[in-house]
Amino acid sequence: MSSVESHQEQLSQSDPSPSPNSCSSFELLDMDAGSLYEPVSPHWFYCKIIDSKETWIPFNSEDSQQLEEAYGSGKDCNGRVVPTDGGRYDVHLGERMRYAVYWDELASEVRRCTWFYKGDKDNKYVPYSESFSQVLEETYMLAVTLDEWKKKLESPNREIIILHNPKLMVHYQPVAGSDEWGSTPTEQGRPRTVKRGVENISVDIHCGEPLQIDHLVFVVHGIGPACDLRFRSIVQCVNDFRSVSLNLLQTHFKKAQENQQIGRVEFLPVNWHSPLHSTGVDVDLQRITLPSINRLRHFTNDTILDVFFYNSPTYCQTIVDTVASEMNRIYKLFLQRNPNFKGGVSIAGHSLGSLILFDILTNQKDSLGDIDSEKDAPNTAMDQGDTLTLEEDLEKLQLSEFFSIFEKEKVDKEALVLCTDKDLQEMGIPLGPRKKILNYFRTRKNSAGINRPTLKPASGMNISNITKELEFCNKTDATGNGDYPDVGIGQVSVKYPRLIYKPEIFFAFGSPIGMFLTVRGLKRIDPNYKFPTCKGFFNIYHPFDPVAYRIEPMVVPGVEFEPMLIPHHKGRKRMHLELREGLTRMSMDLKNNLLGSLRMAWKSFTRAPYPALQASETTEETEAELESSSEKLSDVHTEETNVAVKEEVPPINVGMLNGGQRIDYVLQEKPIESFNEYLFALQSHLCYWESEDTVLLVLKEIYQTQGIFLDQPLQ
């Protein structure tokens, strides 16, 4: 017989002959001493493996209350499912298990907790099982009502708990090998503290998340399975990003929350690393990996090689298919679970993930019609935004005299795209016009974007403006014809899936997009270019991030200007940056004042006094000197004014990639980071998940499209 059953049997024997309609002994004792005993308030916890250790984490107060209401409703709990954590997890009440909704994750155990004991190493409190907690509560009630303490209980794993008084309750572990005959363990060793009720233990319990979801953001990770220096997954890092956003909404959008104008922004992770490495490529790599420096080679295979996989035709297709299909799948599931959602969707990518999203966005189509039919549709010059007739195209090329030849041969624009140099030669078109026509229509077909053949421009965009900035090699094909082959600019050709929604904003964190575009052969992005289905694009980076590159110099290559400095979330510049700027201004002022004083002194020193000068002449000379000194002082003021003007940079036209707004945004480094840039380089690439400045910029741009602004503009 277990200790729990024996204890219940002892309690039942306290009233040997209860009547059928009478109350139990506990109820009678509770009624007699109602002012002494108060039932414990339960709180729900779930178990999670953190650093190879089981850690019990409390549900937020709203979720715990929902679970308790479902538990106490009296209905069968076996089929009861309660959504928690903003709908990202479901708790199967009968199984006492918690399952992730949008991504793959090991299920975690759930408990209704009332009694806790302190752990060994981390000093965190661990809840007892529900059955033994009930035994402890019944024993505690008897001790309170009868005022009889020093109650000793034995747990199912033969651990001893002694209730000395309401404020002193201890837990003893059994002593191993105490007796070969299996004698009862004694209370030896270091005792652990026992607490009753979650209010008596030190644990942070959050209030919960707003039910209203205003916007949905998909977050795509970069290379490798780990996303920060603590080797956490994309799910854990996005959880931090979401927590920071909830805190910033309470501090920077307080008025909008009080007026119930906003709820929250939901951030959902998108994982493509696991599907890629489940294709069997790891096994193939392991066969050819050298046995030396095993850990470093394993890190290389699991992390750095993702960059090479993306440049492989086979695995690049796998990556883009995984990312797009995951975002489409999660979006459909999200709408099913949130049927009243009316907000927009944005996407964010870190490191290589931002490049994947950039390539997907540049290969979308403006129309969200039938995806399957569009995949099979021919890629002709009559695609999106091309409404000109063949005659108008030839007139644009100043080759209208050859329209009659095409009309006679019944060659339209679609047929002209398929023509070769030899075909045009047989029609009687000279070499010069022939090359101009082929280049014009081939580049329309192959280079209607900025980085590969399948890239399409936004509606109404002049494609030739982009292709003027690209350098294509005039190569001959296998037949010897001087045609421009169907090539991009250095990137593999893949079929890009369609997204079933139009993202509003694309956020890139620590992005190498600029470097990859340059390596592919792109020298300039046309200022009129914009994503076909996405209006906004923000390139956010830390100044010491070794992987990040700028975008704006590719749009405006002839102008040198600084990126936009992201304001500190507390509404000021960091102290060391203000000090640096203050010292710079002070040195400029001292320099200007010193130069002005030296000029005045030199002027007065070199002036020779002549007593014979008339008073009128002296007056004229004095006035001239005053005019000269005023000119010098005005020069000094002019220099100071120029410095001030430089600080207030006028608006710069960086094209339509971000709807006319600036694209590059740089974070402010921390004071300790400014001492050694190289020491914090790796950390700078992984800092975005917990950066309040980054999260606030994302929230500001998302809510700004809805006409909701910060309580106080940041300087």
- Is it the case that residue 591 has pLDDT exceeding 70? no
Residues 659-670: tens digit of each pLDDT: 999 999 999 988
Q: Cβ distance 541 to 666 under 8 Å?
A: yes
The per-residue pLDDT for 573 is 59
pLDDT at 338: 96
Cα–Cα distance measured from residue 46 to residue 55, given in angstroms and rounded to the nearest whole number: 8
Half-sphere exposure of 634 (CA within 13 A, CB side): 6
The predicted-structure confidence for 137-157, as pLDDT tens digits, reads as follows: 999 999 998 888 988 898 888
Domain membership flag for residue 380: no
Q: What is the pLDDT of residue 425?
A: 83
- Name, of 133-147, 307-321, 362-376, 497-511, the range with top average pLDDT: 497-511
Report yes or no: 560 and 493 within 8 Å, Cβ to Cβ: no
**Lowest-confidence range among 43-47, 85-89, 421-425, 667-671?**
421-425
Structure tokens at 95: 């199984």
- Continuous segment of H or E residues that includes residue 332: helix 313-337
pLDDT tens sequence across 474-502: 333 333 333 333 334 456 678 999 999 99
With respect to residue 32, please indicate whether it lies within any of the assigned structural domains.
no
Specify the range with the lowest mean pLDDT, choosing from 168-172, 324-328, 380-384, 413-417. 380-384
Please, which pLDDT band fits residue 268 given cuts at 50, 70 and 90? very high
The confidence score (pLDDT) of residue 115 equals 95
Residue 595: helix, strand or coil by DSSP? helix
- What local confidence, expressed as pLDDT, does residue 551 receive? 97
H or E element at residue 628: helix 615-647
DSSP bridge pairs for 196: 115
End position of a domain, from candidates 420, 446, 472: 446
Asked if residue 477 belongs to a domain, the reply is: no
Q: What is the pTM of this model?
A: 0.72
pLDDT of residue 212: 94
Give the residue with greater pLDDT, 612 vs 590: 590
Say if 438 falls within a structural domain. Answer: yes
691 & 542 share domain: yes
Decide if pLDDT at 158 tops 80. yes
Q: Are the C-beta atoms of 56 and 43 separated by less than 8 Å? A: no
CATH code where residue 442 lies: 1.10.150.50
pLDDT at 601: 65
- Shared domain for 358 and 406, answered yes or no, is no
Distance CA 157, CA 136 (A): 15
User: Rounded to 5 degrees, what angle do the CA atoms 705, 706, 708 make?
Assistant: 105
Q: Are strands 43-50 and 53-58 parallel, antiparallel or unpaired?
A: antiparallel
CA 15 to chain centre: 63
Buried b (16+ CB within 10 A) or exposed e, 139-152: bbbbbbbeeeeeee
373 among known catalytic residues: no
253 lies in the same domain as 352: yes
Same domain? 358 vs 399: no
Give the confidence band of 536 by pLDDT, cuts at 50, 70, 90.
Answer: very high
Residue 400: per-residue pLDDT: 84
**207 domain residue, yes or no:** no
pLDDT at 430: 87
The distance from CA 221 to its chain's CA centroid, rounded to whole angstroms, is: 8
Are the C-beta atoms of residues 194 and 201 closer than 8 Å to each other?
A: no
Q: Tell me the C-alpha distance between 373 and 366, whole Å.
A: 15
Query: Can you name the residues that pair with 539 across neighbouring β-strands?
Result: 508, 664
Sequence-separated (6 or more) residues with CB below 8 Å from residue 318 = 275, 276, 279
For residues 155-171, average pLDDT: 89
Residues 224 and 151 in one domain: no
- The DSSP-derived string for 257-291 is HHTT---EEEEEEE--HHHHHTSSHHHHHHHHS-S
* Boundary (domain end) residue, out of 446, 473, 488: 446
Residue 679 has what pLDDT? 87
Which residue out of 351, 354, 511, 684 is catalytically annotated? 351
How many domains does the chain divide into? 3
What is residue 304's three-state secondary structure?
helix
pLDDT of residue 230: 85
**Domain, as residue range, for 57:** 43-175+189-196
Q: Determine, yes or no, domain membership for 628.
A: no
558 and 686 together in one domain? yes
Same domain flag for 315 and 433: no
Average pLDDT for residues 366-382, to the nearest whole number?
44
| Cα–Cα distance, 509 to 685 (Å, whole number) | 9
Which whole number is the average pLDDT over 213-217?
97
Residues 541 and 669 in one domain: yes
In this structure, are residues 264 and 87 in contact, taking their beta carbons and an 8 Å threshold? no
- Lowest mean pLDDT, pick from 383-392, 435-444, 575-584: 575-584
Residues facing 664 on adjacent strands: 539
The SS3 of residue 204 is: coil
pLDDT greater at residue 634 or residue 59: 59
Lowest mean pLDDT among 129-143, 538-552, 558-572: 558-572
Q: What is the largest CA-CA distance in the chain?
A: 137
> Lowest mean pLDDT: which of 219-233, 240-254, 538-552, 637-651?
637-651
The pLDDT of residue 25 is above 50:
no
Is residue 290 a part of any domain in this protein?
yes
318 and 238 in a single domain? The answer is yes
Q: What is the CATH number of the domain that holds 682?
A: 3.40.50.1820
By the 8 A CB rule, do 506 and 537 touch?
Answer: yes
Residues 225, 283, single domain; the answer is yes
Asked which of 460-464, 517-521, 612-616 is least confident by mean pLDDT, the reply is: 460-464
Confidence of residue 159 (pLDDT cuts 50, 70, 90): confident
Q: 621 versus 682: which is more confidently predicted? A: 682
| Greater pLDDT, 72 or 186 | 72
| Gap between the Cα atoms of 342 and 345, Å rounded | 10
Q: Are residues 398 and 361 in the same domain?
A: no
pLDDT top residue among 640 and 455: 640
User: DSSP secondary structure string, 440-464?
Assistant: HHHHHHH-SSSSSTT--PPTT--HH
Lowest-confidence region among 154-158, 293-297, 562-566:
154-158
Q: Mean pLDDT across the stretch 15-26?
A: 39
In this prediction, residue 27 carries a pLDDT of 41
Other CB atoms within a 10 A radius of the CB of residue 470 amount to: 18
Residue 346 has pLDDT above 80, yes or no: yes
Nearest to 105 by CA among 57, 44, 49: 49
Mean pLDDT score of the chain: 78
Sheet of strand 108-113: strand arrangement: 53-58, 43-50, 108-113, 97-100, 89-92, 81-84
Reported as a pLDDT band with limits 50, 70 and 90, residue 387 is: low
| pLDDT at position 175 | 66
Q: Confidence band (pLDDT; 50, 70, 90) for 56?
A: very high
Residue type, position 473, single letter: C
Mark which of 136, 166, 196 sits at the end of a domain.
196
Whether 58 and 169 share a structural domain: yes
Tell me if 201 is assigned to some domain: no
Say yes or no to pLDDT of 246 above 90.
Answer: yes
